[in-house]
Chain A
Amino acid sequence: MSGPEYLVEMRGIVKKFPNVVANDNVSFTLRPGEVHALLGENGAGKSTLMNILYGIYRPDAGEIWVYGKKVDIRGPRDALALGIGMVHQQFKLIPVHTVAENVILGLREQGFVINERKINNELTQLIQRYGWTISPNSRVWQLSAGEKQQVELLKALYRKVRILILDEPTSVLTPQETVALFQTLRKMASQGLGVVLITHKLEEVFSVADRVTVMRAGRNVATKNVKETNIEELVELMIGRPLLKISSTRSLDTSKPVLEASGLVVLGDKGLEAVRNVSFKLYRGEILGIAGVSGNGQTELLEAIAGLRKIMRGKVLLDGVDITNRHPQKIIDAGVSYIPAEVLRYSAPEMTVAENLVLKAYRNHLFANSLMIRWRDVNRKAEELVKAFRIVTPTITNKVANLSGGNIQRLVLARELGTLPNTKVILAAYPTRGLDIASTEQIHQELVKRAEQGVAVLLVSEELEELMALSDRIMVMYRGEIVGVLRRGEYDVEEIGLMMTGVKRAEVSA
């Protein structure tokens, strides 16, 4: 292949935020035709490094060379002009616009009147080339997370980018969608693009990447050829120790359920039924997993139980007491804690870490008398939780908006698991989304520990591995209904995968 050896070369990049050095003399290279994985714990500085390449941040020191030329990237516009595209974890799409509209927005070559026919043809060709099924005319809000990601990729492809950055692209995908994405990435690489894949999942490194760079505390500690390394070495590089295995010896008491839902019907945002006639019992010390492609009513179900969404029909009993449609505060007080799917929406980004940590518990006598909050106690608790949940933040008075993705997740987990007294039920939606492997391990242990202490856990996840490792039973949800329930010992990836697409249990086994 002719041309420069590297598409991108970043040398000695330094980026400081108030009180944090997010990138400390980092070097990074990207070759044409490679998928380059970027690994590292939460807060290691991966997103910052790539945001610098994409022009969102400007480095305090260091040089960026693209196609063998030194460049100065002042904003995403400059990056796009250089052929650099980025797919963020939070999709940057306009939901009410069509796929085509999202793709062509901001393209100067369009002329005044949009040539819909021509654009649709070109997009259809690209879509077919990658074996996707989206239509240029669908509205983005109608698409699944995986399809939205295809729109983001389409945006990059249509702009003919040669360098593509993906920030934790698989955290919102189903296993099938992940496989499809990786095929796409390989295809792009085979056409000479350079792809950067930020991820926490080691399997992904081995299934798709050619090289891997590991970051730790703002520095790059190693770059390896994937063929010449192994999981153990990468774990060691990332966290400095091997991983533990989860084991739990729990005995369930199935005489009386803690939480009992019967015939729940809940509406989604668009006013359609998102949860249809869902009934289940959750016992003391049980972890009940809910499997399903996201968007099949799981989030709405948890929100309804937590009192954040109206239950149209049906009943929720907590220890025999009716909590259907009670005020969220009452439900919190009754011992229900809720780990939401969108952590940013359920935190106050402009407030401090300490304030966010006690957002639910500040009324409690531990932190307040009848009139005043006792900030000394709040701060002490905050310091304690920051340590226990390993939240990477310079001070507890740091704004939450400044934390890295994984650290906001950790903060919400600390709030839900660490501040509320006498928790009986934990509703957990994707609790390990965006967490690095060490933190994931820690949260798994925390949930198991709680279960051993008798707390009942309702766990929504898209990671079958996670569900199968933790759950005593797994319920599969599809289009708002429970398709079937499996007990520990009956788990089978294929079967659950099929049920997630709506195939009923009996049909599966028959």
Chain B
Amino acid sequence: MIELVESVLVGAVASGTVFLLASLGETVAERAGVLNLGMEGMMIMGASLSYIFTNALGHGWAITAVLLVGAILGLLHALFTVSLRLNQVVVGLAFTVLGLGLSGLLASNEIRGRIILALNPEASPAVIASQEAAKLPPIPIPGLVNIPIIGPMIFSHNILVYISLILAGGLWFILFKTSFGLSLRSVGENPSMADALGVNVFLIRYIAMAICGALGSLAGAYLFIGYQPFWVEGMTQGRGFISLALVILATWNPLRAILGAYLFGGVEALQFRLQLVGVAAQLPYFLLMLPYIVTIVTLTLLSAESVRKRIGVPAALGVPYSRE
């Protein structure tokens, strides 16, 4: 029994890190007033790129490429929603559809092969044909990993898990303790006022979206090279949308996002364990449905004024800003 609990806890962190990275990115964007419904698309792009790049050039380059492409996707989203002031829901969903399609295309045998060869002419045919990639190695932290329960739960993972935790703390500090964070939050609450006081609303929203895109894609990269390194089209399975809900659950607070992410991760881990022993065969269907339910509920909640007031939604979330 203890073993089951421990394995679920370890699994909770392993699968929860996907949610954590994505919701950290989304938190930054939403605190600046931009709703990124393209999270799912950015995540799957990250997964697909990490698959291709890892096989071509290894983990380091894969992560670099993913961060870069993710940031560019975020900036593109900002171009449409911040500068051109298009509807954020529509643009976001378009990014999701685009990401799901493009990732599948890039990872398809033919095209993936060409990209890998272009990046690394010496790549072996076996690597090119592989549906898998090397997983990030776990780096148990000496000493800490021996603490009962907490040790294996937190300190037995790969580098991205540790980075995600450091990022959560770092982003919390930046958002709440620095003048850049104050400006960013103010832009999400009342952009015209921030503008009048000398804050560059557009620049801040672009930066926030770049961070959001980079972290969203990194979440996808972690999902692939850090969690289940075999490629399946559409393998994010709505995790991007679940992260959006998580942001709300965590009330736009990076530290609370840790708890929420591990909770959601725990549900997923538990589901696997139960399936292994043959319990709850219908559960997968329910879980597959979950992201969509979560999205509908989220958008509904966000549109009700009374709810917005009570849970502290950034007041200008989803509203394009124009200077008059």
Is A75 an interface residue when CB atoms closer than 8 A count as contact?
A: yes
Is B139 an interface residue when CB atoms closer than 8 A count as contact?
A: no
Q: Is the interface of A mostly helix, strand, loop or mixed?
A: loop
CB distance from A158 to the nearest CB of B (A): 12
Is A110 an interface residue when CB atoms closer than 8 A count as contact?
A: yes
CB distance from A298 to the nearest CB of B (A): 19
How distant is the Cα of A80 from the Cα of B199 in the complex, in angstroms?
Answer: 13
Collect the chain A residues with CB atoms within 8 Å of residue B310's CB: 269-271
Known contacts being A92-B193, A112-B179, A114-B179, is A97 close to B186, with CB within 8 Å?
A: yes
Known contacts being A94-B189, A94-B190, A271-B310, is A114 close to B196, with CB within 8 Å?
A: no
Segment among A3-11, A100-108, A277-285 that sits at the interface with chain B? A100-108
How many A residues have CB within 8 A of the partner chain? 24
How would residues 295 to 319 of chain B score, 1 for a CB under 8 Å from any chain A CB and 0 otherwise?
0000000000010011010010000
CB distance from B177 to the nearest CB of A (A): 6
Do A80 and B197 have beta carbons less than 8 Å apart? yes
The one of B179, B196, B312 in contact with A92, judged by C-beta atoms closer than 8 angstroms, is B196
Known contacts being A76-B197, A271-B310, is A105 close to B178, with CB within 8 Å?
A: no
How would residues 55 to 78 of chain A score, 1 for a CB under 8 Å from any chain B CB and 0 otherwise?
000000000000000000001110
CB distance from B201 to the nearest CB of A (A): 11
Collect the chain B residues with CB atoms within 8 Å of residue A107's CB: 179
How distant is the Cα of A104 from the Cα of B177 in the complex, in angstroms?
Answer: 12
Do B182 and A101 have beta carbons less than 8 Å apart? yes
Is B112 an interface residue when CB atoms closer than 8 A count as contact?
A: no
Is A321 an interface residue when CB atoms closer than 8 A count as contact?
A: no
Is A246 an interface residue when CB atoms closer than 8 A count as contact?
A: no
Do B189 and A96 have beta carbons less than 8 Å apart? yes
CB distance from B187 to the nearest CB of A (A): 10
Do A106 and B190 have beta carbons less than 8 Å apart? no
How would residues 344 to 379 of chain A score, 1 for a CB under 8 Å from any chain B CB and 0 otherwise?
000000000000000000000000000000000000
Do B197 and A97 have beta carbons less than 8 Å apart? no
Collect the chain B residues with CB atoms within 8 Å of residue A77's CB: 196-198
CB distance from B131 to the nearest CB of A (A): 46
How distant is the Cα of A406 from the Cα of B178 in the complex, in angstroms?
Answer: 40
Is A111 an interface residue when CB atoms closer than 8 A count as contact?
A: yes
How distant is the Cα of A410 from the Cα of B66 in the complex, in angstroms?
Answer: 58
Do A114 and B182 have beta carbons less than 8 Å apart? yes
Collect the chain B residues with CB atoms within 8 Å of residue A116's CB: 177
Is A506 an interface residue when CB atoms closer than 8 A count as contact?
A: no
Known contacts being A76-B196, A106-B197, A113-B177, is A92 close to B190, with CB within 8 Å?
A: yes
How distant is the Cα of A101 from the Cα of B312 in the complex, in angstroms?
Answer: 17
CB distance from B204 to the nearest CB of A (A): 12
Collect the chain B residues with CB atoms within 8 Å of residue A110's CB: 179
How distant is the Cα of A76 from the Cα of B309 in the complex, in angstroms?
Answer: 29
How would residues 235 to 272 of chain A score, 1 for a CB under 8 Å from any chain B CB and 0 otherwise?
00000000000000000000000000000000001110
Do A104 and B182 have beta carbons less than 8 Å apart? yes
With A105-B194, A114-B178 known, 5 other A-B pairs at CB within 8 A are A92-B193, A106-B186, A106-B194, A106-B199, A113-B178
Interchain Cβ contacts under 8 Å between A and B, 12 examples = A75-B196, A80-B197, A94-B315, A96-B189, A96-B312, A97-B182, A105-B182, A105-B194, A113-B178, A114-B178, A270-B309, A271-B310
Closest 6 A/B residue pairs (Cβ): A106-B197, A76-B196, A106-B198, A110-B179, A94-B189, A92-B193
Interface residues of A, Cβ cutoff 8 Å to B: 75-77, 80, 92-94, 96-97, 101, 104-108, 110-114, 116, 269-271
